[in-house]
Amino acid sequence: MTLSPEQLAEIEAERSVSRPTRRAVSDGIEAYLYTAQPVLDHGFVRVVDYMGDDAAICQAARVSYGKGTKSVQNDAGLIRYLMRHWHSTPFEMCEIKLHVKLPVFVARQWIRHRTANVNEYSARYSILDREFYIPAPDALAAQSVVNNQGRGAALQGDEAARVLRLLTEDANRAYDSYEAMISQDGQQGLARELARMNLPANIYTQWYWKTDLHNLLHFLRLRADTHAQYEIRVYAEAICKIVADWVPLTWAAFDDYRLGGAALSRTGLDCIRRMLAGEAVTEDTSGMSKGEWREFRALLDGEK
């Protein structure tokens, strides 16, 4: 993890100031403010600001539903009800702004979540640092033979060393050319907006990313899943820890119903009812495709 001297000075100055406020404060997330949580080799996640807490969610829900919440005796029960029945609007009352440093190829996956406000470091205006994501040896894996967008067995020995050498050499060679193109040593130099196109996808970028809690939980449900690519999953896992301390009641419900729960099709529910009735349901009698049956059996067997 690398922060520039200017960023470190800015963070330290902000952390040294204490401001009285009448706004809702979550003690759990306050500790994260202005503190970078390291991710990968040079990346980080940093909480810049936030709005709301568990109580804000309940407040919004009670305004919305009125008498319909009279039977809910506590905030935890109400939040679990909202999560269980997919009532998402109250969760939008909370927001968070993160400063994230991440490889470009991870950013291109991340930006697919279009329900956020994003401002990225400009390589048209500024010069990118010579910082690349180079996987740890245990993160190098061959292409999966059963999943076209997944990984298989880990590379070993000479093959792992060869790949690491190529990744490192190619990244540095591309950056050398980038520096040479923008150099103004006796020449005008190529425009930065053009020179950047030669840089590799593992170079680091930074952005400020602001979203509401509902859309953040959707992001985490997909990206903290074991099937997500490792490099974006570790960012999601770092954010999970922050959310768990920020809105603990919401996190408990989300962990139970979304991360730990499962959605079943009508056919899947029918198969479970038949199994409970004593029928030996098989792939051939399930009414499912081969892929659906494989996932259904993995679900029943407790596999992710």
DSSP code of 17?
-
Beta strands across the sheet bearing 95-103? 36-39, 43-51, 95-103, 204-212, 117-120
DSSP code of 256?
I
Active site residue 221: no
H or E segment and range at residue 176:
helix 157-182
DSSP code of 263?
-
Token pair recorded at residue 35: 């503190």
Q: At 99, is the secondary structure helix, strand, or coil?
A: strand
Which residue among 46, 80, 196, 223 is the active-site one? 223
Which residues, in sequence order, are CB contacts of 98 under 8 Å at separation 6+?
A: 45, 46, 47, 48, 208, 209, 210, 239
CA–centroid distance for 303 within its chain: 22
**Residues 295, 122: contact at Cβ < 8 Å?**
no
What whole-number distance in Å separates Cα of residue 211 and Cα of residue 117?
Answer: 6
Half-sphere exposure of 5 (CA within 13 A, CB side): 0
Active site amino acids: 223
